[in-house]
C-alpha cells in the first residue's frame, strides 16, 4: 500500500545561518487539552502490459523557447500522486532521459519521492541558503517541490518562517495536474442521502491536511458543526481522530469495525457536560489505495465528498525559490512547457499514460506501472458489502488548464478562491497554529505561465478541461445545501451594501466545486403569498445574475438554476422578528445531474 504524504509541517528544521531551528506549528498533531465550541467552518479504460497502443510523440508546441541551463540538474521532490504524471513523462526517467521532452527543452531534473511536507520545507531552506550565499547552481536542498494546492496557506506560512532570515521566498509557478476523486472523505453510505447524519461522526484524519479539508468543506457546505478538539466528542458535530499517517487512519477504522473504540469526554456548545461516552471511529479521510483497503476490509462506506465534487480544490502545485527562478526564467518556463506538452500526450494516448506510470512506479518505488495507470483515470469497484465505490481519479494539466486555473486571459482566478477558502478554514478552526494567511499574491506567481502563453500561441488558444453543464439535465441528488443571509432592500430584489461581503464569501465557497448550482429564494409570511413567491423568484435570479457577472467563467448560465418558494418553506416560526429574518434567505444547493 502506498503511504499518503504527511503534510504535518511539524518539527520542521532548516539550516538557517548555521543553526537548526523549528519552524511552524501549523499542522502540529498534538494540542493542549482545551475545550472550544464546535463551529461550522466558514470508469475508464486503462493501458495494460502488452497493450498494442503506440506511444505518440508529443508535439513541441513551444519549440521556439530558448534553451535553459541544460547541464544543471534540479532536484525535484514529488508526492506519490498520479496528478504528477505529466512531469514524470516529460522527464522520461527518475533522472532526465536523453531523448525526453525535458532534455529537448534543455532542462534536467532529478525526481525524488518525498511524503512529508516538513521535509520539503527543510530541503527548500537548504536550497535557499545556497542561493543567499550566491551559489548559481545549488547542490544542496531541493529546487522544486510539488504539494496539494489547497495546503498552500499552511505550507507558505511554514516556508516563510524558514526562509525569511535568508531574505528568500517560495512561489507557486503552476499546476501539474489535479486530484479528481482520488482524495475523499469516507463515511457510512447513509450519509450520502442525508448529510446531517454526519453529525456525531468520528473520522480518522491527518489534521489540517488536504483530505481533512474535504471533510471540513463538506461540513461547512451542509452547516454541520466541527469539533476541532480531537480529544473530546460532540454528538452534534463532526469529530476527528488525529493521526500521523493516512495508513494509521485506515487501520484505526478497521480496528474500530472490530470493536476497538475509545472513551471521550462529551462536550456541547463548547462546554464539558460531565458525561463520557464510548465512541467508535466510523469514517476516514484518505486516498487511493487507502480507500481500496477500507472497501475490501470494512465496506458499507461511501465517498460522501471528494475532489470529484470539489474539483478545483487540489491542484498539484509546483513550488520553487523566488530569487533563483527570477535568475533562471528560461529554466522555469521550459520545465513547465515540457510538463504541459507531456500532459497533452497523456490525455491523448493510453500508451503515453503507461509510459508516465512506468516513471511514477520507479520514482515512488512501489506498485507497478499498470497499477498507477489504473488509478490515474479511476475505476468503480465493489466493496466487501457489494456497494459500488469509485477509486482513484487524477488528471494532468496543460498550458490551457493553467491559464484557466490562475485567472489568466480573462478567466476567474479559481486558485485564488481555493487559497482563500482553505486558508480561511485553517485559520477559523486553529487560530493559534494559523494566525495569519499570507496574501495570495505573495506566494503565487503566474507570470511564468503567462509568458509561456505569449510564446506558444497554439497551446494558449487550446481549450481547458472544464465541466460541461446541461441546463435541462434533471437533478439526481443534492450534494450539499446551505442557507445564506443575503440582505435585500425591503420588498425589492436589489442588494443592500452589507450583502456584498456575504455574496463574495458565497462565491468563493461555491466556486471550488464543479457541480450544478441551484439558487432558491425564500421569504417570511408577511404580505400576500403570491407577491412573496414573485419576490423570492426575483431575488434568486438576482443572486444567479451576480454570480455570473462576477465570475462568468466559473458560473456559465447553464450551471446556475433558480427556484422560488416564497413563504412555503420556513425554517423558523414567523411569529418573531428573529424567525422572520431566518426565513428571508437564499439557499444554495450543489446538485448532481444526469
End of a domain among 460, 495, 525?
460
Closest of 96, 61, 55, 94 to residue 78, by C-alpha: 94
Pairing of strands 13-16, 19-22: antiparallel
DSSP-based three-state secondary structure for 133 = coil
Q: Which residue in this structure is represented by grid cell 481555493?
A: 418
Q: Which residue in this structure is represented by grid cell 480573462?
A: 410
Do 84 and 111 form a contact (C-beta atoms < 8 A)?
A: no
Write down the pLDDT at residue 71. 79
| C-alpha cell recorded at residue 489 | 432592500
Task: Tell me: do 384 and 415 sit in the same domain.
Answer: yes
Using one digit for the tens of pLDDT, what is the confidence trace for 172-217? 999 999 999 999 999 999 999 999 999 999 999 988 888 999 999 9
Task: Tell me: do 298 and 354 sit in the same domain.
Answer: no
The answer to whether residue 4 is domain-embedded is no
Whole-structure pTM value: 0.87
The answer to whether residue 335 is domain-embedded is yes
Task: Tell me: do 168 and 204 sit in the same domain.
Answer: no
Question: Biggest alpha carbon distance in the chain?
Answer: 77
Query: What b/e string do you get for 571-583 counting C-beta neighbours within 10 Å, with b at 16 or more?
Result: eeeeeeeeebebb
End of a domain among 306, 341, 375?
306
| Distance separating alpha carbons of residues 557 and 544, to the nearest angstrom | 8
Task: Tell me: do 284 and 419 sit in the same domain.
Answer: no
Using one digit for the tens of pLDDT, what is the confidence trace for 424-473? 998 998 888 888 899 999 999 999 999 999 887 555 557 898 999 999 99
C-alpha dist (Å) from residue 523 to 300, 504, 582: 40, 22, 9
Task: Tell me: do 263 and 409 sit in the same domain.
Answer: no
Backbone angles phi, psi at 49, to 5 degrees: -60, 135
H or E element in which residue 152 lies = helix 152-163
Q: What is the CATH number of the domain that holds 488?
A: 3.30.1330.60
| Distance separating alpha carbons of residues 148 and 208, to the nearest angstrom | 12
The angle subtended at Cα 175 by Cα 169 and Cα 181, nearest 5°, is 130
Task: Tell me: do 487 and 585 sit in the same domain.
Answer: yes
Task: Tell me: do 17 and 163 sit in the same domain.
Answer: yes
The answer to whether residue 317 is domain-embedded is yes
Task: Tell me: do 58 and 195 sit in the same domain.
Answer: no
Closest of 438, 414, 405, 392 to residue 336, by C-alpha: 405
Pairing of strands 516-522, 560-566: parallel
Beta bridge partners of 61: none
The distance from CA 116 to its chain's CA centroid, rounded to whole angstroms, is 17
Q: In total, how many domains does the chain have?
A: 3
The angle subtended at Cα 510 by Cα 506 and Cα 512, nearest 5°, is 130
| C-alpha cell recorded at residue 486 | 443575503
Task: Tell me: do 30 and 164 sit in the same domain.
Answer: yes
Write down the pLDDT at residue 129. 98
DSSP-based three-state secondary structure for 401 = helix
The angle subtended at Cα 80 by Cα 74 and Cα 81, nearest 5°, is 100
Task: Tell me: do 37 and 122 sit in the same domain.
Answer: yes
Using one digit for the tens of pLDDT, what is the confidence trace for 491-528? 899 999 999 999 999 999 999 999 999 999 999 999 89
DSSP state of 282: -
**Rg, Å, the chain Cα set:** 24
Task: Tell me: do 441 and 417 sit in the same domain.
Answer: yes
Backbone angles phi, psi at 237, to 5 degrees: -130, 170
Beta bridge partners of 241: 204
The distance from CA 318 to its chain's CA centroid, rounded to whole angstroms, is 14
CB-based burial label for 207 (10 Å; 0-12, 13-18, 19+): buried
Write down the pLDDT at residue 32. 33
H or E element in which residue 517 lies = strand 516-522
Q: What is the CATH number of the domain that holds 281?
A: 3.40.190.10
| Distance separating alpha carbons of residues 348 and 343, to the nearest angstrom | 9
The answer to whether residue 348 is domain-embedded is yes
Do 315 and 403 form a contact (C-beta atoms < 8 A)?
A: no
The answer to whether residue 551 is domain-embedded is yes
Spans of the chain below 70 pLDDT: 1-70, 457-461
Sign of the Cα pseudo-torsion (55, 57, 61, 65, in order):
positive
End of a domain among 289, 306, 323?
306
What domain range includes position 255?
A: 183-306
Pairing of strands 262-268, 301-306: unpaired
The answer to whether residue 5 is domain-embedded is no
Tally of CA atoms within 13 A in the half-sphere of 28 that contains its CB: 16
The answer to whether residue 470 is domain-embedded is no
The answer to whether residue 469 is domain-embedded is no
Task: Tell me: do 448 and 493 sit in the same domain.
Answer: no
Beta bridge partners of 144: 76, 320
Amino acid at each position: 500500500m502506498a503511504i499518503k504524504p504527511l503534510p504535518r509541517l511539524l518539527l520542521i528544521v532548516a539550516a538557517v545561518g548555521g543553526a537548526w531551528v523549528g519552524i511552524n506549528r501549523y499542522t502540529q498533531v498534538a494540542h493542549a487539552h482545551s475545550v472550544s465550541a464546535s463551529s461550522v467552518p466558514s470508469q475508464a479504460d486503462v493501458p495494460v502490459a502488452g497493450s498494442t497502443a503506440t506511444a505518440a510523440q508529443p508535439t513541441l508546441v513551444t519549440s521556439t523557447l530558448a534553451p535553459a541551463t541544460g547541464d544543471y540538474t534540479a532536484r525535484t521532490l514529488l508526492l506519490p500522486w498520479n496528478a504528477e504524471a505529466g512531469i514524470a513523462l516529460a522527464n522520461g526517467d527518475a533522472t532526465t532521459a536523453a531523448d525526453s521532452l525535458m532534455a529537448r527543452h534543455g532542462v534536467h531534473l532529478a525526481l525524488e519521492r518525498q511524503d512529508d511536507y516538513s521535509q520539503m520545507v527543510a530541503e527548500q531552506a537548504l536550497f535557499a541558503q545556497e542561493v543567499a550565499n550566491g551559489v548559481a547552481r545549488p547542490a544542496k536542498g531541493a529546487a522544486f517541490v510539488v504539494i496539494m494546492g489547497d495546503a498552500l496557506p499552511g505550507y507558505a506560512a511554514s516556508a516563510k518562517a524558514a526562509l525569511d532570515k535568508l531574505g528568500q521566498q517560495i512561489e507557486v509557478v503552476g499546476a501539474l495536474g489535479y486530484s479528481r476523486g482520488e482524495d475523499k472523505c469516507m463515511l457510512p453510505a447513509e450519509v450520502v442521502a442525508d448529510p446531517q447524519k454526519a453529525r456525531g461522526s468520528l473520522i480518522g484524519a491527518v489534521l489540517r491536511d488536504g483530505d481533512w479539508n474535504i471533510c471540513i468543506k463538506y461540513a461547512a457546505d451542509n452547516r454541520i458543526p466541527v469539533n476541532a478538539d480531537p480529544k473530546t466528542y460532540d454528538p452534534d458535530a463532526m469529530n476527528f481522530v488525529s493521526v500521523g499517517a493516512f495508513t494509521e487512519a485506515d487501520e484505526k477504522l478497521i480496528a474500530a469495525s472490530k470493536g476497538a473504540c475509545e472513551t471521550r469526554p462529551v462536550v456541547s456548545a463548547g462546554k464539558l457536560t460531565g458525561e463520557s461516552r464510548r465512541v467508535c471511529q466510523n469514517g476516514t479521510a484518505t486516498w487511493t489505495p487507502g480507500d481500496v483497503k477500507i472497501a475490501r476490509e470494512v465496506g458499507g462506506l461511501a465517498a460522501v465528498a471528494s475532489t470529484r465534487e470539489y474539483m478545483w480544490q487540489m491542484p498539484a502545485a509546483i513550488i520553487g525559490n523566488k530569487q533563483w527562478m527570477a535568475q533562471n526564467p528560461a529554466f522555469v518556463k521550459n520545465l513547465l512547457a515540457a510538463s504541459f506538452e507531456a500532459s497533452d500526450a497523456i490525455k491523448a494516448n493510453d500508451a503515453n499514460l503507461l509510459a508516465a506510470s512506468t516513471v511514477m512506479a520507479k520514482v515512488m518505488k512501489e506498485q507497478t506501472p499498470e497499477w498507477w495507470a489504473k488509478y490515474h483515470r479511476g475505476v468503480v469497484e465493489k466493496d466487501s458489502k457489494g456497494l459500488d465505490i469509485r477509486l482513484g481519479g487524477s488528471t494532468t494539466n496543460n498550458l490551457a488548464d493553467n491559464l484557466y486555473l490562475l485567472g489568466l486571459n480573462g478567466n476567474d482566478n479559481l486558485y485564488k478562491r481555493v487559497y482563500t477558502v482553505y486558508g480561511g478554514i485553517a485559520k477559523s478552526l486553529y487560530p493559534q497554529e494559523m494566525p495569519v494567511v499570507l496574501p495570495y499574491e505573495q506566494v503565487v506567481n503566474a507570470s511564468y505561465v503567462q509568458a509561456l502563453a505569449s510564446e506558444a500561441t497554439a497551446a494558449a488558444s487550446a481549450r481547458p478541461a472544464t465541466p460541461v453543464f446541461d441546463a435541462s439535465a434533471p437533478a439526481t441528488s443534492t450534494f450539499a445545501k446551505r442557507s445564506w443571509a443575503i440582505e435585500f432592500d425591503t420588498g425589492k430584489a436589489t442588494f443592500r451594501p452589507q450583502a456584498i461581503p456575504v455574496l463574495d464569501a458565497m462565491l468563493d465557497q461555491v466556486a471550488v466545486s464543479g457541480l450544478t448550482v441551484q439558487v432558491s429564494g425564500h421569504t417570511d409570511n408577511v404580505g400576500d403569498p403570491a407577491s412573496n413567491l414573485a419576490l423570492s423568484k426575483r431575488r434568486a435570479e438576482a443572486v444567479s445574475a451576480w454570480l455570473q457577472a462576477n465570475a462568468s467563467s466559473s458560473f456559465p448560465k447553464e450551471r446556475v438554476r433558480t427556484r422560488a418558494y416564497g413563504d412555503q418553506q420556513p425554517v423558523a416560526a414567523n411569529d418573531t422578528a428573529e424567525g422572520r429574518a431566518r426565513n428571508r434567505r437564499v439557499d444554495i444547493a450543489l446538485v448532481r445531474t444526469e
